[in-house]
Structure 1
Amino acid sequence: MMTNLFSIFDPSTNLFNIPFNWLSTFLGLMFIPYSFWLIPNRQFIIWNMIISKLHLEFKNLLGPNSFKGSTFIFISLFSFVLFNNFLGLFPYIFTSTSHLTFSLSITLSLWLSFMFYGWINNSNHMFIHMIPQGTPPILMPFMVLIETISNIIRPGTLAVRLTANMIAGHLLLTLLSSTGINMPNYLIIILIIIQMLLLSLESAVAVIQSYVIAILSTLYSNEVN
């Protein structure tokens, strides 16, 4: 019996002190060799089209000064987060993206790498970026302070956005399913239909949040060039 509503997000389930819940993070790797069993197959063609579209979009966002192959960093980020978001919708599979431990480790490492690269190689550009063009001289100290704070909280906002969206949908599904125990049969049928609609919405949220975190990471990296 579930003693706490948030226990569905508890990563401490283990066997012989091995945290098996976090192993769900690597379940997405199971789909990679399958796509190469028979080429071309439907999965390979669809995934190749998605990657090609993302590559062109990320390339346009990064601009002409980006390094060759830098788009694949963000395509890999999109794929990794998408697999974890989508697999978390299946029963008895732990959703690792619903934890700040997971999402913050990704966003913080990316943000730190962007900051180190920007301040070491493009120091003047980073200083100029703190003051928008046309700012009155009297407001320049305040703009530097505001831009610095907004830059520092970026990894936190990215991580919280992903975590909060994944937790919200899962909690709603859990709350509705827990109310079906004492319902009559005709209401259970309505509840099942609502759950199916919410599950479809959560599938869309899983894709959208993966896309959002990849796009915002691309925009943040473009600012340091």
Structure 2
Amino acid sequence: MMTNLFSVFDPSTSINNLTMNWLSTLMGMMLIQSSFWLIPSRHMMMWNNLSTKLHQEFKTLLNNKNINKGSTFMLISLMLMIMFNNTLGLFPYIFTSTSHMTMTMSLALPLWMSFMIFGWINNTQHMLAHLVPQGTPPLLMPFMVCIETVSNMIRPGTLAVRLAANMIAGHLLLTLLGNTGPYLSNLLLMILLMTQILLLLLESAVAIIQSYVFAVLSTLYSSEVN
């Protein structure tokens, strides 16, 4: 029995008290065959073109020091993993792992923490100067330091909440509209189906956009510590 509206997002399938729903996060590696990487095909060309475009996009946001260290490919992998899990959750009876703060915070917090540790150890003066924007009056400098510190501390939370909230909102709307189907007439049911299809297309776009936003914001945060 559904205890509340958000219980549809809870993991329910378990074997020996081990939730199996989280395995859907790694389903992508099981679906991609090994021959995909060896035999040239249209899918391989599409994958290479996508990786190249994303590499060029992230390279413009990073400093020249980080380009040759593979930072862009780490962010590309992060974006593709989030995008895969977002789109996978649109299929029926598949658990959406990115709609949980456990998953999104596990991605955002280590990234932000590693950026902060690297920045404060290697570029301490730059990090201190970044707390006071250029042109700030001396009287407002203590307040700006407090504001910049708070805004910096909540960055992993905003990354995690943004991704999880966008995934929950669309799925929740689809669930609410779907529950009203048995009580509608044939005409209203056809309108409901068309609305569901349009919302599904919107959710497909949101799944791609949110993964891109997560990766771009992570790139911007990493570029600030250099």
Shift of 1:57: 0.9
- What one-letter code is carried by the residue in structure 2 that aligns with 1:8? V
Given that 1:81 and 1:97 are in contact with CA atoms closer than 8 Å, whether structure 2 keeps it comes out as yes
Provide the residue aligned with 1:113 in structure 2: 114
Provide the residue aligned with 1:52 in structure 2: 52
**What percent of counterpart residues are identical?**
66
Provide the residue aligned with 1:84 in structure 2: 85
Q: Tell me whether 1:19 sits opposite 2:19 in the alignment.
A: yes
- Segments ≥4 residues shifted beyond 6 Å: none
- Decide which moves more: 133-142 or 66-75: 66-75
- What one-letter code is carried by the residue in structure 2 that aligns with 1:10? D
Given that 1:35 and 1:43 are in contact with CA atoms closer than 8 Å, whether structure 2 keeps it comes out as no
Q: Tell me whether 1:41 sits opposite 2:26 in the alignment.
A: no
Q: Structure 1 length normalisation: TM-score? A: 0.95
Partners of 1:187 and 1:43 in 2: how far apart?
Answer: 40
Provide the residue aligned with 2:30 in structure 1: 30
Partners of 1:194 and 1:97 in 2: how far apart?
Answer: 24
Deviations 1:101-121 (A, max 9, x none): 100110000000000000011
Partners of 2:34 and 2:87 in 1: how far apart?
Answer: 17
| CA RMSD after TM alignment | 1.4
Shift of 1:72: 0.8
Partners of 2:105 and 2:177 in 1: how far apart?
Answer: 29
5+ unaligned residues in a row in structure 1: which ranges?
none
- What one-letter code is carried by the residue in structure 2 that aligns with 1:25? T
Partners of 2:139 and 2:35 in 1: how far apart?
Answer: 59
Say if 1:185 and 1:211 are closer, same or farther in 2 by CA, change over 3 A: same
5+ unaligned residues in a row in structure 2: which ranges?
none
Shift of 1:12: 4.4
Partners of 1:79 and 1:32 in 2: how far apart?
Answer: 13
Q: Structure 2 length normalisation: TM-score? A: 0.95
Matches within 5 A, 1:84-103: 84-103=85-104
Provide the residue aligned with 1:63 in structure 2: 63
Given that 1:98 and 1:166 are in contact with CA atoms closer than 8 Å, whether structure 2 keeps it comes out as yes
Deviations 1:136-175 (A, max 9, x none): 1111111110000000000000000000000000000000
Partners of 2:203 and 2:17 in 1: how far apart?
Answer: 32
- Decide which moves more: 59-68 or 130-139: 59-68
Provide the residue aligned with 2:213 in structure 1: 212
Partners of 1:137 and 1:35 in 2: how far apart?
Answer: 63
